[in-house]
Amino acid sequence: MAIPARESDDTSSMAPVSRPLYRADQVGELDRRTIASGIDGFALMQRAAAAAWHSLTHVWPGVHRITVLCGGGNNGGDGHVLAALAAAEGYTVQRLLLKPIEELTGDAARAAEMASAAGVGSQAWREGMPFEGEVIVDALLGTGLSGEVRGTIRDAIAAVNASGLPVMAIDIPSGLHADTGAVLGVAVKATRTVTFIGDKLGLHTGAARDHVGELDFRPLAVSAEAQTDIVPAARLLDAGMISAWLPPRQRCAHKGEFGHALVLGGAPGFGGAALIAAEACARLGAGRISLATAPEHVTASLVRRPEVMVHGVRGAGDLGELLEKADILVVGPGLGQGSWGQGMLQAALASATPLVVDADALNLLASRFSGHRRDDWILTPHPGEAARLLGLSAGEVEADRPAAARELQRRFGGVVVLKGAGTLVAGPEQLAVCPHGNPGMASGGMGDALSGMLGGLLAQGLPLETSARLAVLVHALAADMAAEDGGERGLLAGDLASYAQLLINPVTPIGHATATR
């Protein structure tokens, strides 16, 4: 089974193993430096429009009529140039203006004149106007937008979304925040987005996942990473990282070399979550896995996964030497917030062993065990849990997910995994974003599977931040593979462990055991 990969029709823009992501102001600075190096600003605009035109014709080769909506800035200028290119190729172009040509200035004005000289007509957009194209090109608002979309442009975006037509957004879907991925009142829901110079952080997380569509990154022959003083805002996790982080095991390896993970969870009546975590931990390659859970869950654990050493504990006092023998503790799956769960978390916090903290352990951390900060733990909140830890609302967290992830890491230390669409990993090194995953993951137990995967990788001695990035990546890719086989609806957390095992091991012919991990 193949690992899913993102493709591009432009070989010069193939994603590197760890693509850098930038804020809007950083991309603006890259743009300014490119122009200062001797490339004319209008020439750069023409280059961007040509890349967008190539992208459009590649995806929709049978289209002969397009509608281009042009705003007032350089993003609108890109649209005007694209309209001229389309007309030169014999396409029928409907050019709709959100700002009169006579009010344009600079390169945008030159671009509008170029389209007019190419014979492209223009009309002021008005509500109720029919779109005559088979594809709509969104060139309304660029990456500089920071306030809520209002007035005529808001109405135009609503009309685009209601049209039912495929949409290609130039640089960013209009109305989307380039740094946060939040919708600023209303945003275009694009089928495809072509972005330039530097990839933007806000195209990969939060609400962006419902608005960007297929992303096509075109650097326009600009090497962003050559500007070493512009530090990327984040890095994009990529499937190519798996083999780099998990080299083949030595043939003489034994289980003692791959660590002992202890899962603390499964309060009375909540045993399933802990079992999911323990199994995921085992499938990610930990040498030994122990599970401390309520006594009534022991039989179910033995039946489901006898390889896990399960211990029935009535409270923290029954843990005995389990804590001392473990190399990593996973606390939270099915923990509950009652006395049993509080005792388990208290024991874990008192231990010097590295921790993965999830689910109700996070809620208890916010409500009853506040003030803790460690450099040897991974916290895995979803937006609601993150909000409780930060004293915010979930809406405020989602309005700026990168800022929330960074603030959690600043306050609590270690590494923070902010789950959701475009999961973020915030550690001491740099923010990372996972572009994989699907809506089928919106089901119970998915977070428990992730916490188990984190524990499995940490037990094997991988660094904290590396373990977090790799676990998030494998978790999301495993869910994508499971959805490809069986669909998104009905996807279960327990489905992920076997796919995760495939992802962390190479496909090798029978008999070539020396190449396996």
Residues of each annotated binding site for K(+): 75, 138, 174
Between helices 41-59 and 24-36, what is the axis angle to 10°?
120
CA distance 412 to 401: 16
**500 CB-contact burial (10 Å; exposed 0-12 / middle 13-18 / buried 19+):** buried
Supply 140's token pair.
């309304």
Q: Which residues are annotated as a binding site for (6S)-NADPHX?
A: 74-78, 142-148, 171, 273, 334, 382, 448
Radius of gyration of the chain (CA): 26
Q: What is the 3-state secondary structure (H, E, C) of 357-423?
A: ECCHHHHHHHHCCCCCCCCCEEECCCHHHHHHHHCCCHHHHHHCHHHHHHHHHHHHCCEEEECCCCC
Burial of 180 (0-12, 13-18, 19+ CB in 10 A): buried
Annotated binding site for AMP: 419-423, 447
Phi-psi region of 52 (alpha: psi -120 to 50; beta: other; left: phi over 0): alpha
In the DSSP assignment, the letter for residue 176 is B
Residue 378: what are its φ and ψ, rounded to 5°? -120, 120
Contact partners, residue 78, CB within 8 Å, separation at least 6: 45, 48, 49, 52, 111, 139, 170, 171
Task: Show binding-site residues.
Answer: 74-78, 138, 142-148, 171, 174, 273, 334, 382, 419-423, 447-448
Centroid of chain to Cα 126: 36
**What ranges in 130-201 are assigned the alpha helix state H?**
151-162
| DSSP H stretches of helix in 218-359 | 241-245, 271-283, 298-304, 322-325, 339-350
Strand order through the sheet with 288-293: 19-21, 234-236, 431-433, 424-426, 415-418, 377-379, 355-357, 328-331, 260-264, 288-293, 309-312
Q: Residue 200 carries which DSSP code?
A: B
Residue 136 tokens, joined: 């709509």
CA separation for the pair 111, 48 (Å, rounded): 12
Calpha distance 406→425 (Å, rounded) = 9
Closest C-alpha to 34, from 197, 214, 230 = 197
E strand or H helix at 69, and its extent? strand 65-70
